Amino acid sequence: MATLDETMEVEFLKQDLDARKQISRIVSKIKDYQDKVKEIVSSYYVDFLPNCYDNMTIMKNGKMLEEEINKIVSMVNQDTAWQLSMAQEHIQQHREELSEAIVGYKTSYKLQTIHSLFEMIPRSGDDYQKLISILEKIKSLLNDGSDHVLPKLECYQSIRLRYHEEYQILLYNLNKKFESLIQFNEKPFQNTKAITIKIKKNEDQLHPVIVALVNTNYNVQRMCKFLMDNVFEPIITRPVSLTCNDDDGDFVTIQLSYQLKSTDELRPNYKIIFQRMMETFYCLGHMNIVISERQCIFSIIAKYIKGSLCKLLIENCLQNDIPDTIDEMNESSMVQSIQEFNKFLTEMLFLDHENDTVLDEYACKIGLLFQKKFCTNIVSTASDIMKKDLHDMVLVEERETHFSNGSDMFSSCMVSKSTVELKKLLDKILSEVSAAEKELSERLMKTIATILQRYCIEVEQNHEKLLLKIPQQTALYHNNCMYLSFWLQKNASKLGGNNSFMLIGSALRDQGTKTFNNQLQNQRSLLLQSLKGFELSNGIVELGPEPLKAVRQCIRQLDLLKSVWQTVLPEHVYKTSIGGLVTAFSAEIIRRIFNLEDITAEIGSGLVSVIDVIKEKAPLLFKDPTDITIVVKNWTKLMQLHKMLDASLIEITELWAEGKGPLTLNYKAEEIKHLIRALFQNTKHRQTCLSSIIQL
């Protein structure tokens, strides 16, 4: 039994010794490998001195060493007999020794791999894709987050610097090659700019360069900005001279020239712009290298400019070219042109047919946008008409219109030419309503309502001062409002009997009446202000010239109103208006005379002379002077006062005729008694007469 144990112990000791030898041998080999790699790396990246080792041979030896290391590691981890033969602390010691050696090996092998990759760079020549692959591998090895040893080595920063240098050299060479294959040139002058783009036709030369640039995350924004600012924006916003030449040897040439400053009037229409854009894209298509199944140069460029390009196209081209009239819209092929252009950009891989739908969506809205523009232009035209002078006028003859509730008459009067022009515009809109589709028809009806609603507001705002100060302007505005209201009543059936139009018609009449009444009130105030000179106070000895002067000034004011109103206003409106002013004027004269407590014969005679002027001039304010007795409500009363001021006591008593005479139509008994007391001295005869003045 003891002999068997001894035999086993001897066997275990042999295995232990053999394992230790193998570990020591592999550790020694690793150290030797590390020393050689260290010398190579130090000579290239630290001391920058020549080296005598063959890197490829050492690389092969390193690969073979890796196989041996794997065998030893497997033995240490799996040989149970060996593990049983050794004490636990010996096992741990050997493992740590081996692990430390392996870490050193891995670091050395990684350094040698990086060095080998660097040596491949000069041999790769212009194989840009291979160069990128090499540099990507180096970058991956340098940025290995699990390796905490490499970044601490003395050579690490030099190696990293070498990587960046090689990468920059690659980018520089790529850029130089790209610029030799695709050339962007601009030449500014004082007022113009010339753009030249040359693209190599040979796709075999373009493809590797462009693919390599894309794979190096080349910043295409500078190229995109050049194309947007110097090519697409000018083509869309101004006249350009464009030449695309495919016969220029090895290159396709695009030449573009244009004025730096341009006006909207010179901007080409959308058809010309689409044509020039397509020509440009066709030529640029020579550089549209396919990089992958889902990526090409146009798709990369589009990422940066397609949004701003479509926006510019819509706002500076399509929006301005939406038809202005229904006939133009019916003949327009704009929708089809936009859809075809959108399809072209999609086929050129500039737009994604699933996600880039801006132009298609805009094409679908052209009908609606036309309606808005058409109606907006109409309202804008109407607003311009409303700004025109009111005093430029024309005679509108008397006319009558019949409707379901009855009829209405529009009397002959002067109307502003601008309002007649506005009425013709409304007639034109109304004629379009019946022929238009339902949606446009409804919008046109709303436009008519908008124009008439704005008339009340805008005309007053545009002519505010003149309407306040110039009576003729107010009269014309009054007529204009009535004319437009009459137009609404006349076309009520065509407007569909819409109640809102009836309300607008009522608002127009109210606005015209209100503004004219304000002018009448202003004229009344001016008359009363002029009558300040007609001051009659008790105790005055003589009348003086002031009352007559004041009355003459009032008559002049009324005569001026006649000259600007009689031929402008409808006859009945003129009579009512001027009659109201004369009534107010006469009432004030009567009131001031009746305020006197004592009227001497001399003052009475002076007052008669004053009223004589009124009696002579006032009837002339009317085409038929006899109309004054009808429209001036207190005219008879004033004439009776005129007669009483120059009458005897008996004559006044006879005119009263015990409450049955003509004076009773306009005067009360107390008023007559007051006048008698003022005109005549207190005598028995006066007392007798006063007692006969009674109110029945």
- Which secondary structure element, helix H or strand E, spans residue 307, and what is its range? helix 297-313
Q: How far apart are CA 475 and CA 462, in angstroms?
A: 16
- Which secondary structure element, helix H or strand E, spans residue 220, and what is its range? none
Model pLDDT, residue 41: 64
Which has more pLDDT, 541 or 494? 494
Q: What is the C-alpha radius of gyration for the chain, rounded to an integer number of angstroms?
A: 54
List pLDDT tens digits, range 352-367: 888 889 999 999 999 9
- Can you say how many angstroms the Cα of residue 4 is from the centroid of all Cα atoms in its chain? 104
Task: Read off the tokens for 187.
Answer: 């030449």
The pLDDT > 70 percentage for the chain reads: 82
Q: How far apart are CA 565 and CA 574, in angstroms?
A: 7
Q: How far apart are CA 470 and CA 653, in angstroms?
A: 48
Model pLDDT, residue 32: 63
List pLDDT tens digits, range 311-333: 999 999 999 999 988 888 889 99
Size (the chain), residues: 696
Rounded to 5 degrees, φ, ψ at 424 are -65, -35
pLDDT band with cut points at 50, 70 and 90 for residue 271: very high
In 375-460 the beta strands, taken as DSSP E runs, fall at 393-396, 399-403, 406-410, 413-416
H, E, C per residue of 92-152: HHHHHHHHHHHHHHHHHHHHHHHHHHHHHHHHHCCCHHHHHHHHHHHHHHHCCCCCCCHHH
Which has more pLDDT, 446 or 404? 446
8 Å CB contact between 30 and 65: yes
Model pLDDT, residue 30: 65
8 Å CB contact between 490 and 484: no
pLDDT band with cut points at 50, 70 and 90 for residue 522: very high
Give the residue among 132, 79, 142 at the shortest CA–CA distance from 110. Answer: 142
Range from 296-300, 456-460, 626-630 that averages highest in pLDDT: 626-630
Q: How far apart are CA 366 and CA 316, in angstroms?
A: 15
- Is 400 strand, coil or helix? strand
Task: Read off the tokens for 341.
Answer: 């252009």
8 Å CB contact between 34 and 61: no
Q: Enumerate the domain spans of the chain.
A: 12-71+93-170, 176-325+334-366, 388-504, 520-692
Range from 107-121, 256-270, 461-475 that averages highest in pLDDT: 461-475
Residue written as token pair 């005479």: 661
pTM, two decimals, is 0.70
Contacts of residues 153-158 at CB distance under 8 Å and 24 or more positions apart, as own/partner, are 153/107, 153/111, 154/46, 155/41, 155/42, 155/45, 155/46, 155/111, 158/45, 158/46
Model pLDDT, residue 138: 82
Q: How far apart are CA 589 and CA 603, in angstroms?
A: 14
Asked whether the predicted pLDDT for residue 43 surpasses 70, the reply is no
Q: How far apart are CA 526 and CA 464, in angstroms?
A: 19
List pLDDT tens digits, range 405-462: 545 678 899 999 999 999 999 999 998 888 788 888 889 999 999 999 999 889 988 9
- Which secondary structure element, helix H or strand E, spans residue 257, and what is its range? strand 251-259
- Which secondary structure element, helix H or strand E, spans residue 640, and what is its range? helix 635-645
Q: How far apart are CA 365 and CA 439, in angstroms?
A: 13
One-letter identity of residue 230: N
Q: How far apart are CA 338 and CA 330, in angstroms?
A: 16
8 Å CB contact between 512 and 478: yes
Range from 194-208, 257-271, 438-452, 568-582 that averages highest in pLDDT: 568-582
Could you say which DSSP state residue 624 is in? S
Could you say which DSSP state residue 632 is in? S
Q: How far apart are CA 622 and CA 628, in angstroms?
A: 7
Contacts of residues 401-406 at CB distance under 8 Å and 24 or more positions apart, as own/partner, are 401/486, 401/489, 401/490, 403/489, 403/490, 403/492, 403/493, 404/492
Tell me the C-alpha to C-alpha distance, in Å, between residue 638 and each of 586, 601, 644, 660: 7, 19, 10, 19
CATH topology of domain 520-692: Tetracycline Repressor; domain 2 (1.10.357)
Asked whether the predicted pLDDT for residue 127 surpasses 70, the reply is yes
- Burial (CB count <10 Å: 0-12, 13-18, 19+), residue 21: exposed
Q: HSE-up of 108 (CA within 13 Å, CB side)?
A: 26
- Which secondary structure element, helix H or strand E, spans residue 188, and what is its range? strand 182-188
Q: How far apart are CA 671 and CA 692, in angstroms?
A: 14
Asked whether the predicted pLDDT for residue 392 surpasses 90, the reply is yes
Task: Read off the tokens for 593.
Answer: 């005379």
Q: How far apart are CA 615 and CA 352, in angstroms?
A: 91
8 Å CB contact between 289 and 206: yes
Q: Are strands 295-296 and 290-292 parallel, antiparallel or unpaired?
A: antiparallel
Average pLDDT of the chain to the nearest whole number: 84
Of the listed ranges 24-38, 208-222, 279-293, the least confidently predicted one is 24-38
Model pLDDT, residue 281: 92
Tell me the C-alpha to C-alpha distance, in Å, between residue 544 and each of 532, 587, 609, 659, 693: 14, 21, 12, 35, 32
Residues 178-188 have a mean pLDDT of 89
Q: HSE-up of 3 (CA within 13 Å, CB side)?
A: 0
Model pLDDT, residue 209: 85
One-letter identity of residue 528: L
Rounded to 5 degrees, φ, ψ at 255 are -120, 130
The pLDDT > 90 percentage for the chain reads: 43
